[in-house]
Structure 1
Amino acid sequence: MPFVIGIDGGGTKTTCLVKKVGGKQQEIARFQGPGTNPHVVGFETAAARIGELIRGGLEAVNVNTEEVAAVCCGLAGVGRNSEEQRMQKLISYELDSLKVSEYCELSVCSDSYIALRGALQPGTDEGILVISGTGSNALALTSSGKLTKSGGWGHILGDEGSGYFIGMKALNYMTRACDGRDKATMLTSLILKRLQLEKAEDLIAYIYGERPEKREIASLARQVIEAAEHHDEAAENILCQAAEELLTHVESLFRKNPEFTEQTVVTAAGSIISYSKLVKDTFINGLRKRNLGVYQEAYQSPAYGAALVAEELAHPSKQ
């Protein structure tokens, strides 16, 4: 029986899932390796890491490379045709070096697409996935196969409702509280402790001198979630704002796809949705009140979604 491989490549880690074609068992193995976002590690390095991860995974489960019928790689940072084509060419070289069958199919797409495919229940051919982690975006799939997206503009132009959005809102509120332009908040003590700063004024050197990375700012969402769990008003307001921003992604996708109805499946993924009950509950209640589809928990992982796409490549008639 042939096998397919699904790759979920992120900025910090990459997951490789090996699955039998048509097998009742959903997967036979899952492996992890370093990040493969080509804009972070470079296109050639990303391809080499994917090749090495596939090689090691197949050896570990004793699967011959010639038994691989298809590979799908969903990668962070790959959202345009030129990027997909460049990675497709580089990964093809890696597969050739692994001596996979010349009939092995390969697809390279965005990590958002495989996340959506993995999130939808079997038999569901349309829906919306909202992602809120370090960044944020949303993707919709119609029953006719049309893809539309909202967000994905990056942290300078967008990422509303994300961990970065929440972290920056918290830092801004701290400055307002320090000036007396807003009420005092426990965010101040929690974030100063997290950043190992003595006073709010030290944020100036931290932001403009050290120039923290996007991921570091996004990590401050943990302190906002903690403060909200203690009913801090500022923290609760920030998280509710984040949920509202995520709802606007869904609204935009409904406008782009008039065939969507109040029965359209909406699911969500990412650390903010996973760890903040307030964001998740506000988001789900907003969907219900505005008739923006029906919320469902994600069915499976992005890596599983990539394996599904690979299986469709191996058997096009089953798409």
Structure 2
Amino acid sequence: MLNADLIFGGVEGGGTHSWIVLMDGNGEKIAELEGPATNFWLMGMDECLERINKLVQDAKEIAGLSPDTVMEALGLCLSGCEDNDSNRKMEATLMEQYPKLTKHVVVASDTQGSIATACQNGGIVLISGTGSNALLLNPDGKTFRCGGWGHMLGDEGGAYWIAARAVKLLFDEEDNLTDPPFCTAKLRKIVYNHFDLKDRFGMLHHVYISFQKSKFASLTAKISEGASQGDAMCARILYDAGYALGRHIAALSRNVHKDLYASETGLQIVCSGSVWKSWDYMRKGFVAGVQPNCKKDRIIPKFTLLRLAVGAVTSALGATYLGAQKACYDIPRDYSKNVNPFFKYIHPVPLNVSSLPFKTVSKSINANNHENGHICSNGAAIDIANGQINGTENGIHSNGIANGRST
């Protein structure tokens, strides 16, 4: 039974800024506010909780609530909150230091907040910004992770990884260590212009003396622009990024609860981060990467890729849902307003197979034979398989010359 007088709050906390949302018991948003960073690894737990308390009080003022209002529940989805023991400690500390703030509190990772915002019973969040990582949340509350180890150990498919691969490709070509599959002239021009280089020796300054990961990561947008202009080498690098991100999903496939396939949309994958803007050029690689490759990988029968609604939704909303869940209150929610689906995949089931999920067929699968249809946000998609551009919906051929074909 709904109670409009109850107040629920949720915080999405990051290393640079945070968002808070307040909702009433009818599921109506009554306040939303941006605030400072709330990563306790950067500032300590006491400072983090003090900032959260101030965020709540400021949001109450916006909502026209009395400062003495005690919330029914508060969900905190914060960067750095990956460890369950530390999260339980933060919950206990908040209730001890601010006993009149809320009746119930739950602390979880920021990635879990993204899933809760988009999916009712669980799913996967796949982040590809400067770095990359993936988190699976099953209906029983169990979580499984893949990636997120930083640029020295991983971050495959992230913006830094893409840029670093591009730079390394150029070095290896000049050292005669490899023959790139396509002409690198345009890629070289993009890289040299971005770092203001006269020759490759100037790159050493950016790598070893004044290294800035963000400087490398920002190169990825220019590589994507090169792909949009028909450059096959840029497109191939983004294909590889798509493949790497697809491998994150394949790695988690062995842990996906069967109930996550039950709906019409199948497994829901929330895609977050700037690299997803290059989806048109990653699509084929992603589909290929999702296919089973390791011994314990499982075929994913169907999945849908989602983005949070731009400009309207933050993960603070999911944090609010988690808080309500902790209070055993079924707060109304409309997930269709929270997300925008942009790609749907259905695996072709072999005729002699009657159940999924499972692993079958060979490890080498041509992505072209496995895509039964897709939703693409702008109607354009570069089709790349086996390192070749087979055709595009915007008329770009592998040699960069428009041929007017649509496949």
TM-score (norm 2): 0.67
The Cα RMSD (Å) is 2.9
Counterpart position of 2:79: 76
Q: How far does residue 285 in structure 1 lie from its aligned partner after superposition?
A: 7.4
Distance 2:301 2:247 in 1: 10
Distance of 1:168 and 1:250 partners within structure 2: 23
Cα distance in structure 1, aligned partners of 2:161 and 2:220: 9
Residues 73-152 of structure 1: pairs in structure 2 closer than 5 A: 73-89=76-92, 91-92=94-95, 95-96=98-99, 99-101=100-102, 104-120=103-119, 124-152=120-148
Deviation for aligned residue 1:298: 3.7
2:210 corresponds to = 210
Letter in 2 for 1:125: N
Aligned residues of 2:243 and 2:287 also touching (Cα < 8 A): no
* Residue number among 50, 57, 61 corresponding to 1:48 in the alignment: 50
Cross-structure match for 2:272: 269
Mean Cα displacement is larger for which, 196-205 or 8-17?
A: 196-205
Aligned: 1:167 with 2:180:
no
Percent sequence identity over matched residues? Answer: 26
Tell which deviates more after alignment, 283-292 or 184-193.
Answer: 283-292
CA–CA separation in structure 2 for the residues paired with 1:159 and 1:221 = 14
Query: In structure 1, what is the Cα distance between the partners aligned to 2:48 and 2:195?
Result: 32
Residue 162 of structure 1: how far off its partner (Å): 1.1
Q: When the two structures are aligned, how many residues end up with a matched partner?
A: 309
1:51–1:94: 8 Å Cα contact kept in structure 2? no
Gaps of 5+ in 2: 293-298, 333-407
C-alpha contact (below 8 Å) 1:119/1:129 kept by paired residues: no
Report the Cα distance in structure 2 between the residues aligned to 1:178 and 1:316, rounded to whole angstroms: 62
Contact 1:11 1:36 in 2 (8 A): yes
Q: Confirm whether residue 229 of structure 1 aligns to residue 228 of structure 2.
A: yes
2:94, 2:33 → 1: CA distance?
A: 18
1:72 Cα deviation after fit = 1.1
> Which of the two has higher C-alpha Rg?
2
Residues 31-63 of structure 1 deviation map (CA, whole Å, 9 limit, x = unaligned)? 112322233444444333323322222222222
| Structure 2 residue aligned with 1:295 | 304
The answer to whether the 8 Å contact 2:19/2:314 transfers is no
Paired AA for residue 295 in structure 1: T
Residue 241 to residue 94, structure 1, CA distance change in 2 (3 Å)? farther
After superposition, the C-alpha distances for 1:211-264 in whole angstroms (9 at most, x for unaligned) are 22x333222221221111112222211111111111111111111236365933
Q: Greater shift after overlay, 146-155 or 182-191?
A: 182-191
Instruction: Give the stretch that moved more between structures: 235-244 or 134-143.
Output: 134-143
From 31, 34, 40, the equivalent of 2:33 is: 31
Q: Which residue of 1 aligns with 2:63?
A: 61
Q: Does the 8 Å CA contact 2:147/2:155 hold for their aligned counterparts?
A: yes
Residue in structure 2 matching 1:307, options 306, 320, 344: 320
Contact 2:239 2:283 in 1 (8 A): no
Distance in 2, Cα, partners of 1:275 & 1:242: 10
Report the CA distance between 1:119 and its aligned residue: 1.8
Q: What one-letter code is carried by the residue in structure 2 that aligns with 1:206?
A: H
Higher helix share: 1
Shift of 1:312: 1.2
TM-score by length of 1: 0.84
User: SS of the counterpart of 1:140?
Assistant: strand
Aligned AA (1:255): R
Shift in Å at residue 191 of structure 1?
3.3
Find the aligned partners of 1:280 and 1:54 in 2 and give their Cα distance.
Answer: 41
Question: Any idea what SS the aligned residue of 2:22 has?
Answer: strand
Q: Indicate the structure whose relative CO is greater, using CA pairs within 8 Å and at least 6 residues apart.
A: 1
Q: How far did residue 117 of structure 1 move?
A: 1.0
